[in-house]
Structure 1
Amino acid sequence: MPEKLKYCVYVLFSHADEKLYIGYTENLQQRLTAHFHGQSPATAPRRPFALPYCEYHLAKRAAMRREIYFKSSSGKRTLKLMCKDSLKELCSE
């Protein structure tokens, strides 16, 4: 991955409630560690997680817009279609 692709929009799948959590970050590894270890109040009760999707952007603003879109009802539909096979696998585990 080129260094310029700095901003990541990511999707977590909660095995606890089979729902998605959408966020963005400049450091995906650090952010995932926080989620997986219960250090994020928004996601701690919903552990464990899997990461079915992430995408990188050059600009912070673009990543923020994409996160907002994925959190909208049409964005959630798009995301579920994009991740259909992965989510199907995760739900059957």
Structure 2
Amino acid sequence: MASGDHGTLYVGVTRDLQRRVEQHRAKAVAGFTKRYGVGRLVHAQGFGDVRDAITFEKRLKRWRRDWKARLIEETNPRWEDLYLHMTAAPPATPCSWIPDSHSAASGMTDWRAAVLESWTLKF
């Protein structure tokens, strides 16, 4: 987490990322993140085993700041708040059956007109 673009950094481990980020953003927990205004999720990494996550957290806390920044920028070069993406509603998916001009021109969607034309009496 960060306080802003290239701001104060915070590293932590949690089982419930969304809940933990919401706590930091609401300043509900006294401590480092509240004191330094850290509330922007800029990097997250999943682990299958909590022990692996804790080992990585301890290693990451010893990293130089520029190494941490490089890690963030590999997947989030603009330091965007990933929490906003995580909680955003998925985009609406357009119906796939709506014909486009190519389908309509091929006659794939204009079957009714062909049937009606075949039933029309011609003189």
State the shift of 1:48 in Å: 5.2
Give the fraction of aligned pairs with identical amino acids, expressed as a percent. Answer: 20
Tell me what 1:44 maps to. 34
User: Which one is further off, 47-56 or 21-30?
Assistant: 47-56
- Secondary structure at the aligned position of 2:2 is classed as strand
TM-score by length of 2: 0.54
1:41-93 alpha-carbon deviations (Å, 9 max, x no partner) = 1211222521110001011100000110110035x443221223746x34xxx
TM-score by length of 1: 0.69
- Secondary structure at the aligned position of 2:41 is classed as strand
Tell me what 1:61 maps to. 51
State the shift of 1:19 in Å: 1.1
Q: Which runs of 5+ in 1 are unaligned?
A: 1-11
- Number of positions where the alignment pairs a residue of Structure 1 with one of Structure 2: 78
| 1: CA distance, partners of 2:67 / 2:38 | 24
- Secondary structure at the aligned position of 2:7 is classed as coil
Q: Which has the higher strand share?
A: 1
| 2: CA distance, partners of 1:77 / 1:47 | 20
| 2: CA distance, partners of 1:29 / 1:19 | 20
Of the two, which has the highest radius of gyration? Answer: 2
- Secondary structure at the aligned position of 2:45 is classed as strand
Matches within 5 A, 1:2-81: 12-15=1-4, 18-42=7-31, 43-47=33-37, 49-74=39-64, 76-81=65-70
Q: State the structure with bigger RCO (CA 8 A, min sep 6), 1 or 2.
A: 1
Amino acid at match of 1:66: F
> Are the structure 2 counterparts of residues 27 and 72 from structure 1 closer, same or farther at C-alpha, using a change threshold of 3 Å?
same
